[in-house]
């Protein structure tokens, strides 16, 4: 397994990371035995970075990861996050600290390596309601008692070594402004064959629901790294979904009936044909495309089984960047999407 450094930090991680979110289902719906087996195998295959959040299973993912790592006597690099909801807006900084203290208890560790704000920053105040947390007004990041103050307290107390955030799209200017403070060192962002805008300028002919504004380059120029989540577009870039077999029993079902999903499915089929033309698997094409960007620190696989870990490690862990010939064919597929 090759390793990469996270931005300008001293944190070196496997270029394939372990995503503990709910999409793959293992850490929120799997049994303890299944979790221990898959996590143990991932560690054996050289995966040293685990990405978690209290929102994943309402704390279950963190708790189960902590239990599994204790049984396996392992201490990889661990990231967790903070979700800021409407009920937290009056005491954001205090909430950030309390949330991470709760995460540390569930993870059974004294400090995290990285803590991120799970809300993406936006220019205008969002309508925060109920349990929603996808976005947070940038003023609530930077004001006294805001999210950045909470992260600063965590860093000063030693409860985390580094801090970061999640980019949600159409927010590159806000992410850039926060990175310029020097407090943040890791951005989580999707970057896929179906939407490459986190790493490349939007292709004129490609329809995307969000433009990520080349935020990987924005982060790199600020000395920060990028962790890529949902590298297979929530399963869309897999043979199982393309062929109609569906996802793993532990994973969330993939609905391909909506117009956006149908269009993405057509693109995914073209990428599968391209991969086959060059004797690659679709997973290998997807991961090698991502890892070809020098600003990427790690790619977070969503693993439901040992077999998925093995497929990913075999396809991508030691792979080189895609040849220019294949990249040019990828660009042609984007340009022919037609919007």
Residues 240-249 pLDDT 10s:
999 888 888 8
- Comparing CA positions, the residue from 146, 138, 220, 129 lying closest to residue 171 is 138
Q: Is the pLDDT of residue 14 over 60?
A: yes
Tokens at residue 108, please? Answer: 């059974």
Look at residue 338 in the predicted model and tell me its pLDDT: 60
Contacts 24+ apart (CB under 8 A), 307-315: 308/24, 308/248, 309/38, 309/41, 309/42, 309/45, 309/47, 310/41, 310/45, 311/281, 311/283, 312/16, 312/283, 312/287, 313/1, 313/16, 313/45, 313/46, 313/47, 315/281, 315/283, 315/284, 315/287, 315/288
Q: Given pLDDT bands bounded at 50, 70 and 90, which one contains residue 179?
A: very high
Q: Give the count of domains, the chain.
A: 1
Q: Given pLDDT bands bounded at 50, 70 and 90, which one contains residue 152?
A: very high
Residue for token pair 């679709």: 282
Lowest mean pLDDT among 39-53, 74-88, 187-201, 256-270: 256-270
β-strand partners of 112: 160
Q: Is the pLDDT of residue 147 over 70?
A: yes
Q: Is the pLDDT of residue 322 over 90?
A: yes
- Comparing CA positions, the residue from 250, 234, 239, 229 lying closest to residue 284 is 239
**Rounded mean pLDDT, 27-32:** 96
**Rounded mean pLDDT, 58-68:** 98
Q: Is the pLDDT of residue 130 over 90?
A: no
Look at residue 57 in the predicted model and tell me its pLDDT: 96
Contact 237, 194 (CB under 8 A): yes
Q: Is the pLDDT of residue 339 over 60?
A: no
pLDDT in tens, 275-307: 999 999 999 999 999 999 999 999 999 999 999
Domain that holds residue 308: 3-335
Look at residue 106 in the predicted model and tell me its pLDDT: 98
Residue 136 CA to residue 134 CA, distance in Å, equals 7
Q: Is the pLDDT of residue 274 over 60?
A: yes
The torsion of the CA quartet 47, 52, 56, 59, rounded to 10 degrees, works out to 120
Q: Is the pLDDT of residue 196 over 90?
A: yes
**339 DSSP assignment:** -
pLDDT in tens, 300-319: 999 999 999 999 998 886 67
**Rounded mean pLDDT, 181-207:** 97
What CATH number does the domain containing 317 carry?
3.20.20.100
Crossing angle (nearest 10°) for helices 60-72 and 92-107: 40
Contact 326, 274 (CB under 8 A): yes
- Mean pLDDT of all residues in the chain? 95
**Rounded mean pLDDT, 61-69:** 98
**Rounded mean pLDDT, 172-183:** 98
**Rounded mean pLDDT, 147-161:** 98
Look at residue 204 in the predicted model and tell me its pLDDT: 92
């Amino acid at each position: 397994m090759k390793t990469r450094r996270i931005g300008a930090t001293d944190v070196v991680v496997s270029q394939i990371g372990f995503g503990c979110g709910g999409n793959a289902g293992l850490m929120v719906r799997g049994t303890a035995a299944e979790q221990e087996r898959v996590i143990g195998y991932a560690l054996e295959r050289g995966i040293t970075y685990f990405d978690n959040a209290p929102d994943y299973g309402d704390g279950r993912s963190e708790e189960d990861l902590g239990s599994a790592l204790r049984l396996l006597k392992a201490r990889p690099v661990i990231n967790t996050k903070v979700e800021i909801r409407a009920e937290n807006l009056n005491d954001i900084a205090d909430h950030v600290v309390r949330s991470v203290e709760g995460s540390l208890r569930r993870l059974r560790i004294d400090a995290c390596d990285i803590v991120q704000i799970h809300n993406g920053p936006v220019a205008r105040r969002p309508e925060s309601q109920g349990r929603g947390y996808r976005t947070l007004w940038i003023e609530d990041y930077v004001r006294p008692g805001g999210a950045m103050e909470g992260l600063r307290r965590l860093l000063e107390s030693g409860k985390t070594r580094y801090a970061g955030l999640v980019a949600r799209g159409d927010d590159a200017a806000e992410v850039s402004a926060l990175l310029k403070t020097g407090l943040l060192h890791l951005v989580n962002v999707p970057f896929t064959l179906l939407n490459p805008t986190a790493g490349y300028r939007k292709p004129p002919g490609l329809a995307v629901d969000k433009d990520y504004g080349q935020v990987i380059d924005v982060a790199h120029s600020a000395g920060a790294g990028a962790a890529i989540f949902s590298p297979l577009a929530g399963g869309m870039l897999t043979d199982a979904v393309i062929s109609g077999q569906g996802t793993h029993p532990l994973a969330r079902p993939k609905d391909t009936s909506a117009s956006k999903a149908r269009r993405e499915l057509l693109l995914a089929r073209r990428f599968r044909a391209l991969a086959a033309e060059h004797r690659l698997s679709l997973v290998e094409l997807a991961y090698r495309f991502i890892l070809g960007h020098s600003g990427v620190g790690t790619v977070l696989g969503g693993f439901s089984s040992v077999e998925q870990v093995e497929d990913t490690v075999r396809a991508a862990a030691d792979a080189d960047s895609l040849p220019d010939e294949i990249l040019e064919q990828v660009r042609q597929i984007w340009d022919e999407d037609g919007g």
